[in-house]
Amino acid sequence: MRSINHLVSAFDRILQRDITISCNKKIIRKGSFILYTIKDYVISIIIKTPTSNKSYDIYYPFNVEVHDDMIELDYTLASIQREKRTNTIELDSSTCNKFLDKKLYIKF
């Protein structure tokens, strides 16, 4: 797990750049990265699109990896689970966060 300071420095590095937010090879948002705020466990991102400014809220991830051309936000349960156990609780991802057990990519 990377610290919040690592995520803040990565977001500061991509301000005013064109980004693409995708999950499972599906593009969620596209535009210029204008502003972000981190409050409690929610990251609010404002993206400038050709028509208007869009706000997008995502939860703070379990793990963050910063690469040369993208930021990977990891919401997979394997990243917080040390070993596979048979007595773990099965979660229905349709009732929880839509990124649960997935990875979100911010490409720039």
How far from chain centre, in Å, is Cα 103? Answer: 7
Domain count, the chain: 1
Q: Which residues form the domain of 100?
A: 4-107
The predicted-structure confidence for 30-82, as pLDDT tens digits, reads as follows 999 999 999 988 999 999 999 999 999 999 998 899 999 999 999 888 877 76
CA distance 86 to 107: 36
Model pTM score:
0.82
pLDDT, tens digit, for every residue of 81-93? Answer: 766 666 555 655 4
